[in-house]
Structure 1
Amino acid sequence: MPTQTQPPRQTIHIPKLPSQKPSPPWHTHLTIDLLSTVLRRSLFHPGFAWMIPLSLRAVTVPYEFLSMRLSIAYASLLTLLYILSYFNERVAFGTAREMDWEEEVVVITGGAGGLGALVAGFYGRRGVRVAVLDVKGVDEGEEEDDGDVKYYRCDVGDAEQVEACARQIREDLGIPTILINNAAIINAKSILNLRPEEVEKTFRVNLLSHFHTIQTFLPGMLEEQRGTIVTVASVLGHIGCANLADYTASKAGLLAMHASLRAELHNSQHPGAPNIKTVLVSPGQLDTPLFAGMQTPSNFLAPVVQPVELAKEIVRMVDSGSSGEVMMPLYARWIPLHGVLPVGVQKVIRGWSRADEAMLSLTRKKGL
């Protein structure tokens, strides 16, 4: 009797990331973000707050007692804020769309390494069809197409290359319904030292590529009447930074472009427009090769964001089928308010953050 052989196991290639650094001391994990998460899930959560008056009532504390009244008032306030927050999200971003992962096709720009590779890995392991667009190839000697994650060598700053890849993706995987615009480069040079071609390349990769991909893939999403577009910007787009003029200007352009995209979809008469969701990602300093060597002024107040944590948040938001914003770490949520502060206060904050000094030291290390 012939023996049965097992079918060859299909593997999904996940690009290798740089080797992990030695584990930092335990106290570096104690950050304001961690404390905020703990408080939001305990003392600042309505369910937890209502346990206080219920516990007091369980030991027969009268309603007239001050402790009982204060606990009820506190729980009621948190409940009201929770309800208002829900309606705020609903008014701002509308209802979530249904996610059918057997029909979804994900396109990720700059996905051959770093944050993009992590997001591609998350979806690839789940069997979701993923197309990665990057000027870099996968590891030499390995096939570019591996399992449900397919790699396309493409300069997303070139509209013709994006259109050519889009046609190939349609043939290979189907109509893309999730677009994650992640590709970015950095020069870390003074304005006086930036060459015109460097500025142009930064804008092509960091900003114009978003126009190319949206103009190429959005029509298909409208045709399918479902889709999600993720814009990876930066908090530096709100405040600028010394020796990053081209980078921060391109990221500021993304903030305006994303707002305009949301407005156009909201006012569009196309029947598929309401089901096109948009997600804005504005992280602080990431622990990636782009910003290797930069020192955060305070690990407690301004921790460096680990790419895997940001990737999880992006995947969670996309999976929810909702529009929204991903801002990490905690201080990133308050950065937009920086521009409305008095100029003197802004200067004090910039001096305390030492962001400009950090970039200057990074530039010196690179000899730029």
Structure 2
Amino acid sequence: MATPYTTPPQRDSWFAPLSIDLIVKVFKTTFFHPFVAWIIPLCFRAQNMYWDAPPMLVSIAWAALITLLWIAGVINDRLAFGLPRLVDLSEEVIVITGGASGLGLLIAEVYGMRGATVAVLDIEDMENGEARGVTYYKCDVTDKEQIAWVAAQVEKDLGTPTVLINNAAIVIGKPLLSLTFPEIERSIATNLLSHFYTLKTFLPAMARSECGGTVVTVSSVIGTTGAAQLTDYAASKAAVSALHRSLAAELRESHPQIRTVLVTPGQLSTPLFYGVQTPNSFFAPVVEPVDVAKEVIAAIDNGRNAAIAMPLYARWIDWYTVLPTGLQAVARKLAGVDTAMKSFVGRKGAKSGGEGGEKREPLIQAF
């Protein structure tokens, strides 16, 4: 059987894996790390260098600056996110929407192997058939009644959910003038309304629990920048980010035992993004799902609130809206954000979970 797409192009240069994210990571673990910074003056002292020698003074000043910045970062995180909640994986029941493949499946498999109880909600069958410690429930997250029924089954089979990961999403990848009304409605229902449905269904149980819980929302940098051929997707992701921030503010006041994690990734390396060309592999590298999964899992394990954005540009993307409109246009042109979708293929031909057997839009986890 012929595949619906061709083989992706291979890297053809030794420096292709090099990116600004890799460079920053190396510096953060060397010159910009407090421990390493203090090693330098200690090495000078081991060479019998006087304390008032210029190299010694410069190295001490540098180490002190890095240490102060590190302390400021810790204080900033504490003020922004508060104290963590106590997490016991043997007691956690984790619900993941869109967890049959990609990022969601990766998180599900990791927690399943670590002894947590995991429920995957997806309209598609699980990519690997089954996974240790993971229970699959066929569910269309755009259907309120299906979600309510599955929630009752999860409670009966596994226990009260303590972690909700809203990960399901679709991308159609058409210009607005080519979108049909049913496609728009399906996109908005999956990418936005499903978050309201799952939150209204699973959040009350977390609110009643003294141990609280964690809500994870997978959004996208496209919700901030927008992009050609992604009008429906960008609008829904912008709304999802606003929903999460507003919900986090409400929960801080009414249910401080519930933690919230907002995930804002760039393009993920997944077949569901097949065909999308990375505008700039150095400044905007494709994100590996395992890297996002590690950050999400760490936030859940530590019981903390968090805002996860990767690669590096995603952490500063809000500053894009501060630029003058002329510079924004130049930045878009240089980044190629509005031409990346021209080669979009996606995962075509997936069967729908509905009774009609119609074709379904390509499913993705994040963009």
Any conservation in 1 of the 2:287–2:311 contact (CA below 8 Å)? Answer: yes
Asked whether the equivalents of residues 62 and 68 of structure 1 are also in contact (C-alpha less than 8 Å), the reply is yes
Match status 1:290 vs 2:272: yes
1:342 aligns with 2:320: no
Query: Shift in Å at residue 266 of structure 1?
Result: 1.2
Which amino acid in 1 is paired with 2:176? I
Partner of 1:262: 248
Cα deviation digits, residues 13-60 of structure 1 (max 9, x gap):
xxxxx9x97974553222211111111011000111111111112222
Give the secondary structure class of the aligned counterpart of 2:24: helix
Mapped contact 1:185–1:290 kept (Cα < 8 A):
no
Match of 2:51 in 1: 63
**Contact 2:277–2:343 at 8 Å: present in 1 too?**
no
**Contact 2:220/2:237 (8 A) holds in 1:** yes
Q: 1:105 to 1:23 in 2, by over 3 A?
A: farther
Whole-angstrom CA distance in 2 between matches of 1:295 and 1:189: 16
Distance 1:155 1:332, change over 3 A: same
Query: Is the Cα contact below 8 Å between 1:109 and 1:132 reproduced in 2?
Result: yes
Structure 1 portions without partners, runs of 5+: 1-17
The separation in 2 between residues aligned to 1:251 and 1:130, in whole angstroms, is 25
1:231 corresponds, among 217, 224, 242, to 217
Contact 2:113 2:132 in 1 (8 A): no
Q: Which portions of structure 1, spanning 4 or more consecutive aligned residues, are displaced by more than 3 angstroms?
A: 20-26
Which residue in the other structure is 2:87 paired with?
A: 99
Match of 1:240 in 2: 226
Q: Aligned with 1:282: secondary structure?
A: strand
Moved more, 276-285 or 51-60: 51-60
For the 8 Å contact 1:186–1:290, the answer to whether it is kept is no
Question: How high is the TM-score relative to the length of structure 2?
Answer: 0.88
What secondary structure sits across from 2:89 in the alignment?
A: coil
Deviation at 1:127, TM superposition (A): 2.2
Structure-2 separation of matches of 1:22 and 1:132? 32
Alpha-carbon distance in structure 1 between the residues aligned to 2:32 and 2:48: 25
Give the letter for the 2:240 counterpart. Answer: L
Range with greater deviation from structure 2 (317-326 or 277-286): 317-326
Which secondary structure state, in structure 1, belongs to the residue aligned with residue 277 of structure 2? coil
Residue 210 of structure 1 corresponds to which residue in structure 2? 195
* Counterpart for residue 355 of structure 2: none
Alignment of 1:321-360 (within 5 A): 321-360=303-342
1:73 corresponds to which letter in structure 2? Answer: A
Q: TM-score, normalization: structure 1?
A: 0.88
User: Does the alignment pair 1:109 with 2:109?
Assistant: no
Q: Give yes or no for contact 1:233–1:280 (8 Å, CA) kept in 2.
A: yes
Q: Percent identity of the aligned residues? A: 51
**Aligned runs of 1:1-368 on 2, under 5 Å?**
24=11, 26-138=14-126, 147-225=132-210, 226-268=212-254, 273-362=255-344
Cα distance in structure 1, aligned partners of 2:101 and 2:274: 15
RMSD across aligned positions (CA): 2.2
- Contact 1:46–1:78 (Cα < 8 Å) also in 2: yes
- Summarize the Cα distance change of 1:319–1:349 in structure 2 as closer, same or farther, 3 Å threshold: same
Contact 1:189 1:363 in 2 (8 A): no
Take 1:139 and 1:85, find their aligned partners in 2: how far apart are those partners?
Answer: 40
**Per-residue CA distance 1:159-191 (angstroms, 9 max, x = gap):** 111111110000000000001000000110111
- Residue identity opposite 1:134 in structure 2: D
The SS at the match of 1:299 is coil
Pick closer, same or farther for the CA change 1:139–1:87 going to 2, 3 Å: closer
Structure 2 unaligned spans of 5+: 349-360, 362-367
User: 1 CA distance for matches of 2:294 and 2:78?
Assistant: 23
SS in structure 2 of the partner of residue 327 of structure 1: strand
